[in-house]
Structure 1
Amino acid sequence: MGTFKAFESLRTLKRLIRIYSPEIYTSVSTKHSITHPQVIGVKHFHTSPYSSKAYTLSQLESRSVVQLSGNDTLSFLQGLVTNDVNLLSVKCPSTQYCMILNVQVDIADVSDRYKIWCQYNSSISTNSLHQPLTFHDPRVPLHGCRFILKENSKDLEDKGNVNVASEEEYTAWRYRLGLPEGVLDLPPGNCLPLESNLAFMNGVNFQKGCYVGQELTARTFHTGVIRKRIVPVQLEFPAEIDCEAKITTKEKGRNAGKFRNAVGIYGLSLLRLAHIKDDLVVTAKNGQTISLKPSIPDWWPQGVI
C-alpha cells in the first residue's frame, strides 16, 4: 500500500492511522476512543442459495480495519466523515457506516498482523458466537454480521454447519443486493455519497455539524436532485469490462452511465435514473457489445424511481 503524508497542519493528531488489511471484510468502529482491539481479524457470514449449511463464511482479503486511538479520535473523525461519530461515545450504536470525503493522514501498512472475515446471515445471533468484536452490518439488514478475530483464529469455522465461501462468491452475493464496497465500486475521488446510496444505508447524518464535503452533500439531499445512483446490473454473459466503461442506451446511443465492476454476470454501475428502464449496452475489453439489465434493490425507499 505504501505510505503517504498529508494533514500536516493537523498537529493534534500525533500518531498514525493504521490500516490492517489483507484478510478483512470491513472497517469497524468501537465505542469511545477507537483503541487497539484485543481481537482482530474479520469474518462475514451470509445465507447461501447454493448450500444447505446454516450460514456462509467468507474471508475478505481486500478489506481493511482502520484503528485509531487517543483523546482527539472522535473530534478528528467528526470533521472527516459523513456520519455522526459522537454517537459512538454513548451506548448505542456501537458501529457505523460512513464515507470519508477527503483523506489526508499518515497511513502505515501493517497487513501481516490481522485478518478480517464477514458473516452474512440475518438468522445468526451475534451473542451466540461469543466474539469480543461482533457487529451487525449497519448498512442493510440482509447484509449480516462482521467479526474481528485474532490472527489464525478458527473459532467460527469450527462452529459446524458453516459453508466457507470465497471472497468472490461474497462479492457476487453483495452485487446482487446492490451494495458497493471498496475502491472498485467506489473509486476514490470519483464518487459522491448520495449517488452511492449512503443515505439509504445509514451512512449520512444530516443533523451533525460541518465536515469535509458537508455543504454539497446536504444541499444535494435537501434539493432532492440526485440524477445518478449506484444500481445492481445483470450482464448478458460474463465478460471483462473496464471500470468506468461508458454505458449507453441501445436504441439511440445516449450516455446512460458508467460501469463499475462485476463478478460473473452480476455487477454494479453508476446509472442515470432517467435511463434505468431503457435497454442498455456496454463494450467489453475485446470490443464486444454486451447488454445489461439494471434492477432496483428491495431495500431502497419507495418512490426513488
Structure 2
Amino acid sequence: MNICKNFKFLRLTRCCMRNFADTRPGKPTSTLEKLAHRELTRVHGAEVLPFLQGLVTNDVSHLQRPDGPSSIYAMFLNKGGRVLYDTIVYRTDSPDTYLLECDRQVSEEFRRHLRTFRVRKKIDIDSIDDEYAPWVLFNGHNGGEKLQNNKELEVFISSDPRLAALGTRILAPTDLGLQQLVSGLWRNNERNLTPPSSERNYKLLRYKQGVGEGSEELPPGKCFPLEANADFLNGVSFNKGCYVGQELTARIHHSGVIRKRYMPIRLTAPLGANQTVQSVAGANLGRVFGHAHNHGVALLRIEQVLTGAQELVVDGERCFAERPDWWPSDLPNKRRQAFTD
C-alpha cells in the first residue's frame, strides 16, 4: 500500500467532511446531493427548436428569450396523451443545443424515442453521461439557492423549474469531485452543508411535496400529464402549437374533468407489497408509486380523498393524504374533478 497516497486520501476526506460537518450558528444549512438516478442527453442541430416543440408539453421557445428561464419542466406523451417521460430542458450558450434530463433507467428508450421523430432533420442526440452529471442543492425550507453559474468550474446552475421548494439544479462536469464542487461554489465556506441521509434527501423532499418523477413513479403510458400535476408544476403550455398528445391534453384542460392527481401521503407503518390505497369500506381510491421514511407519493381520487370523510388504508395500515400547499387555492369545480378514463 502506498502510505503517502493513503494519507493524502485521508486529508481530502477530512477536508470534505469538515465542509459537510461545519454547522456554525448563523450560517444557512443545505444538502448537496448527486442525482445518480438522472442522466443528461444533448440534443443539437439547426432545427432543434421546432423538433422539441413538436414533442414536449411545454413551450421551449421561452428558453431562447434573453429574459427567459434557464430551464423548463416538460413531458413527452404518447399519441393517446399519456405520459412517457418527464424531463427538465436546460438551455446552453448555443441556441442550437439543449440538455434534457431524464430518468436513467429509461434513458436509452428516451433517446430512441427522440430519434424516432428525428426523421430527416439534421439533429444529433447523444448521452453526455460521461461529461456532465446533475446535482441538487436544497435547504428544506424555501428550497431555492442564489448561486451564479461558475465558468471557471464549467458548472451550470438553474433553480428547479417546477417548485422553488425542490431546490437548485447544478450540472457539473463528471470528473469534478465533491470537494472541488463545494470549494468552488463556496470559497469562503459561507454555508453549512450536510450530506444526504435517510431523513434528509431529494427523494424524501419530493415525496413531502407530492411530486412524482421518473419511470417508477410515472410509469410510461399510464397517467395523463394533468394527473401528474403538469399544469400546476409549470410543465405544460396551452398556448403553443401542436405536439404529440396535445389534443387530449387541451381537451381535458378546457372542457374535461380531472378525477385523480398525484399528492403526498403520510404512512403510519412500513409499506408492504400491497400499495393500493383504499377506504375502510374497501373501495379503491388510488395507488402509491413511491415511498420512503413514512412519506410517499400516490395517484389518488381527489374528491373522495380530500373531503375528509374517508379514512385511508394502505396494506392494512392507516395513511393520510395531504393537499400540497403549492396547489392553486381555487381548484377546478366539481365538474372538472371527475376524469373519464
Task: Indicate whether the TM-score tops 0.5.
Answer: yes
Per the alignment, residue 302 of structure 1 pairs with 329
Q: Secondary structure at the match of 2:201?
A: helix
Counting helix residues as a fraction of each chain, which structure ranks higher?
A: 2
Per the alignment, residue 9 of structure 1 pairs with none
Asked if 1:192 is matched to 2:192, the reply is: no
Q: Secondary structure at the match of 1:191?
A: coil
Displacement of 1:90 in angstroms is: 1.6
Amino acid at match of 1:301: P
When residues 259 and 282 of structure 1 are mapped into structure 2, their CA distance, relative to the original with a 3 A threshold, is same
TM-score by length of 1: 0.74
Amino acid at match of 1:239: L
Conserved 8 A contact 1:235-1:293: yes
Partner Cα distance (2:166, 2:63) in 1: 21
Partner Cα distance (1:129, 1:72) in 2: 29
Displacement of 1:129 in angstroms is: 6.2
Partner Cα distance (2:69, 2:126) in 1: 28
2:317 to 290, 294, 297: 290
TM-score by length of 2: 0.67
Any stretches of 5+ residues in structure 2 without a counterpart?
1-22, 79-109, 116-124, 333-341
Per the alignment, residue 119 of structure 1 pairs with 137
Residues 60-71 of structure 1: matches in 2 within 5 Å? 60-71=35-46
Per the alignment, residue 279 of structure 2 pairs with 249
Tell me which structure has the larger Cα radius of gyration: 2
Displacement of 1:202 in angstroms is: 0.6
Partner Cα distance (1:246, 1:73) in 2: 41
Q: Root-mean-square deviation (CA), in Å?
A: 2.4
Per the alignment, residue 5 of structure 1 pairs with none
Displacement of 1:138 in angstroms is: 1.0
Residues 87-102 of structure 1: matches in 2 within 5 Å? 87-91=62-66, 92-102=68-78
Partner Cα distance (1:169, 1:132) in 2: 22
Residues 43-122 of structure 1: matches in 2 within 5 Å? 54-91=29-66, 92-102=68-78, 104-106=113-115, 111-121=129-139, 122=143
Identity value in percent: 38
Per the alignment, residue 204 of structure 1 pairs with 236
1:147 to 158, 170, 185: 170
Per the alignment, residue 159 of structure 2 pairs with 136
Counting strand residues as a fraction of each chain, which structure ranks higher?
A: 2
Displacement of 1:186 in angstroms is: 0.8
Per the alignment, residue 157 of structure 1 pairs with 182
Displacement of 1:162 in angstroms is: 1.2
Conserved 8 A contact 1:231-1:270: yes
Q: Secondary structure at the match of 1:274?
A: helix
Displacement of 1:53 in angstroms is: 5.5
Amino acid at match of 2:321: P
